[in-house]
Structure 1
Amino acid sequence: MLSKDGVLYGAGVLVAPAGHGVHVLTCAHVVAAALGLPGPGRQTGMEGPGGLLPDGGLLVDLPGRAWSAVVRLVPGGWFPPPPLDRVVPGQELADCGDLAVLAPHGDSPRLRPQEAPLPLAECGPADERRVAIIGYPRGSPAGLIATARVTGRGGPCPEWVQLDGVRMTGAVVERGFSGAAVWDPAIRRVIGLVTAAAKDRTVKVAWMLPMEAAARLWPPLSGALRAPAPRPCSPPSMEESYELAEALLDVPQIGHDSGRLLRRQLPAAVRRNVPDHPWPRQQLQAVVQACAEQPGGCAALRAAVDGLGGGSAPAAAALAVLARVCCSDGEAPGEPR
């Protein structure tokens, strides 16, 4: 999202609800900042269905794709941000989602197939899943990637969902990430829109507006939300179990006691099906097989490795192997992959 003089203020998400054409979702505070609107909430003159943006004041650009467009505010598409630094007694916050719905002017260039909007889905329960976010802080016009875990609802707005950073190093959600898509790699869908981040960057806490909340604010969006189809899969082969066991042994927090602590992190329904083995590799292979055979077992293993590994490189490598060889949430074990 750019001001008319090309200054970068944040990100946005291309969407195409059926029958409504291409639109852009971003944060209301990004739009207000790009236009230099006054006021602590930058809401002056823009509240209610009659609020309009000055024509020609805001640009949308796809980095490196040779496509940009002047955008306008859609009537009924403005939902101001909640107060971040103060509490107003008795104020209703349900509609303060920090959302702006924009549409390109009619003479904007057409999007090519490779620039089509990403698929969208509801966020659903905050279940500690890992997500990826591409933001555009100053000095990074091509974007930086941050990773986070979906933690729970709360923060400045009742509709928002908290995102906790998972890496000790690397990008954190900061200024320039507002309006960015929150991508769930497990279901290959955008599940939310980044709205705010804690001022203290060492805290690594941010928030997003989940897509189902955005659809409640702007109902046409509901037609673009698609639940991912369950993907059948088969349990990992003996070779894949061996590969995953090797990767798990490389994680210091798991290998130091031959996976016993990892085993204790699993649900009882999975844990009791893990036989004891004197050799570390066979013990971890047994853990993998038990998780693959139980509904939800692979998701439980994924959460346990993520929690014990603390975002380390060996843990990330083990999670990558696990994602490749083990069923994801919603997949049916025992069927052909």
Structure 2
Amino acid sequence: MESLRQMHEAAIVQICKADGKIIGVGFAVTERHVLTCAHVVNAALSRKKEDKAQPDGDVTVVFPFLNGNATAKIVYWKPPQSALIREEDIAGLELAAPISHSKPVQLGCFRKEGPKFTAFGYPADRPKDTGVWADGEIKDRVSPGWVQIEGTSSQGRRVEQGFSGTAVWNQAKSTVLGMVVAEYTQDEAVKVAYMIPSEILKNAIAYLQLRAILTLTDADWQIYLEPFRACRPSDWSNSNPFPQTLDELLRQLQDMSPEHQAGNSNLGRLPEFIARLILEPSLSEQQRDKLRHWGEANYPNFQELRESVKKPQSVQETKTSQPYLIFEVRPSQVPGLYNTRAFFISNLEKLDLKNYQGIEQVPATTADAACSSDDLPVHLVSYIQVCQEEYGVGENLTIAVFLPLELIHLDVDRWRAPGDFGDDMIPGSQFKLLIRSQERITQYKRRHTEQWSQRWQRLQQSLEQVACQCLAVAKSGEPTPQLNARLIAENAVGFKLEEVPQESAKKGFFVGLLGTAAPVAIWLRCAPKGTENDAVESILDYLQPVLNCSLKRIPSDVLTRRATAVAKAPEPNEQDFHIGYHISLLWEDPNLMPPPEYTYRTQ
């Protein structure tokens, strides 16, 4: 059976400089995470101990009793605010790889478990790699964030420089009661030092335990975004850029004032985020169980919190305005030229197409004449600018672009035109942008209205289901009867294309697609470089992460991928294929259409 000392040793970590010099100590809190002091990390990276900015460099860590070492990045950072305000001096490190047989610690409370402690450190006067144990008693608080500890024997070492960041262990148990943060330096004969108590450390450890649960594949990242958006206060995006990494997302959640005040407010809206994330249908059951356990361990009445985020969300969705911009492109009487017009809908919930209420035509700022397809981006951006000026639309605008079949395969989401300050606006990376078929509202609508409405209703009933399970696989050359058969056989509401539509088959495929009355389809406009001989498998593999979420989130997730691609590079790089440059989404709502042209001519 493992001894108490062996359990302590399996968690002890040396924090070192790049040359191997030991600066301080840390201790394992998960299989891949270590807790230590922020000033120890600063010293290990040759920075001033009091530096507040989070370092970028990796830290060298060694498990001396396990003969293991690794590099670690800083993922949690709470430095002391000043020499006088030192409630926090905590850093969390994430190992590049777990160390075999390491033993994450369990927290205890010195008030409940008694005052006797033991700690392990590396005083400067000891030979290299040789540490010492120091024993003593825990006294009481001396400041909001520090507790006094002291040696009670005339023999043995005191807690001194070289112990910073080490765990303060209960002598009789395997629990950690605090972390050494400083020594008393006025008189070396006095064996006094200070620790950060476990009740303060628990927030940092909860954060690191959550990081250990949240994996970060491309599909996982998309799952996290909708719960994050639901947690944001209404004015949050005004002063905080949308997170691009898991670290940024978790830090923002922790900084948000909790809407539900009960429980641990120092975790911000992390508990609410977890309560919402558990509801995601594409989450694995194993992850769901781990997150539920984390919530119950770190937030009182977590079950009540889970229930409270279900009901307000649906109420809020019905009250939130859903502005739309309809951009319609029609062939003109001159071959190769097109007429455009646009309509603004302030709230889709209040739209009445029969009586033409809740919709108004957007005045054109460009010349009201037919244009080539190359000029369509300028027309679209000009309409968006009018909506921003006249209606005050923000990032929640959705743009529906109605295109004739000959243009439906265009890279509309990459259209760009000069914005207000000289820089280009790229609407597809700023707003949800959906492709619509112009033919559906002319000759097609008269013959397929009922079937289209029925399939749209089925889509609405399937919104909470995982998208990849709702879409049938299709090939670009399949005719309408075969596509219809796929929809029925797979009980699907739309299509995911397993290949890039070829130039010769583009129009034929989209005609076939319209014949099925399917309201949704998703495809790539080009294949990843080097996949020509294995295009079917490769394209479906690229689409799978996009579809590994609920059906209702597809437009938002496609926007996120487009924005991520543009943030990485304004123009696509063939050597570094990013799906956000090449994805098209057809999303046909039969209740959202421009009025007939004669209606507005008459008015």
Shift of 1:83: 4.0
Partner in structure 2 of residue 101 of structure 1: 92
Question: How far, CA to CA, are the matches of 2:103 and 2:65 in structure 1?
Answer: 15
Label 1:222 to 1:104 Cα distance change in 2 as closer, same or farther (>3 A). closer
Residue 153 (str. 1) matches residue 163 (str. 2): no
Partner in structure 2 of residue 162 of structure 1: 148
Deviations 1:251-304 (A, max 9, x none): xxxxxxxxxxxxxxxxxxxxxxxxxxxxxxxxxxxxxxxxxxxxxxxxxxxxxx
Partner in structure 2 of residue 42 of structure 1: 51
Partner in structure 2 of residue 12 of structure 1: 26
Residue 190 (str. 1) matches residue 176 (str. 2): yes
Partner in structure 1 of residue 80 of structure 2: 81
Q: TM-score, normalised by structure 1?
A: 0.53
Aligned residues of 1:212 and 1:222 also touching (Cα < 8 A): no
Aligned residues of 2:110 and 2:138 also touching (Cα < 8 A): no
Partner in structure 2 of residue 132 of structure 1: 118
Question: How far, CA to CA, are the matches of 2:67 and 2:108 in structure 1?
Answer: 30
Q: TM-score, normalised by structure 2?
A: 0.30
Partner in structure 2 of residue 142 of structure 1: 130
Structure with higher RCO (Cα < 8 A, 6+ apart): 1
Label 1:203 to 1:128 Cα distance change in 2 as closer, same or farther (>3 A). farther
Residue 3 (str. 1) matches residue 17 (str. 2): yes
Deviations 1:211-246 (A, max 9, x none): 2211234533588xxxxxxxxxxxxxxxxxxxxxxx
Larger Rg: 2
Partner in structure 2 of residue 300 of structure 1: none
Shift of 1:64: 4.5
Aligned residues of 2:150 and 2:192 also touching (Cα < 8 A): yes
Shift of 1:128: 5.7
Partner in structure 1 of residue 62 of structure 2: 61
Label 1:127 to 1:136 Cα distance change in 2 as closer, same or farther (>3 A). same
Aligned residues of 2:113 and 2:170 also touching (Cα < 8 A): no
Q: Which has the higher helix share?
A: 2
Partner in structure 1 of residue 207 of structure 2: 220
Deviations 1:151-177 (A, max 9, x none): 00114xx12211011111211111100
Q: Which amino acid aligns with 2:88?
A: G
Shift of 1:81: 2.6
Paired residues, what number? Answer: 194
Gaps of 5+ in 2: 1-14, 211-603
Q: What is the CA RMSD across the aligned residues, in angstroms? A: 2.4
Partner in structure 2 of residue 268 of structure 1: none
Q: Which amino acid aligns with 1:10?
A: G
Label 1:221 to 1:150 Cα distance change in 2 as closer, same or farther (>3 A). farther
Partner in structure 1 of residue 71 of structure 2: 70
Shift of 1:9: 0.3
Q: Percent identity?
A: 34
Question: How far, CA to CA, are the matches of 2:182 and 2:113 in structure 1?
Answer: 20
Shift of 1:4: 0.8
Question: How far, CA to CA, are the matches of 2:145 and 2:209 in structure 1?
Answer: 16
Question: How far, CA to CA, are the matches of 2:209 and 2:70 in structure 1?
Answer: 24
Secondary structure of 1:219 counterpart: helix
Q: Which amino acid aligns with 2:51?
A: R
Aligned residues of 2:25 and 2:165 also touching (Cα < 8 A): yes
| Consecutive aligned runs of 4 or more in structure 1 exceeding 3 Å deviation | none
Label 1:66 to 1:219 Cα distance change in 2 as closer, same or farther (>3 A). closer
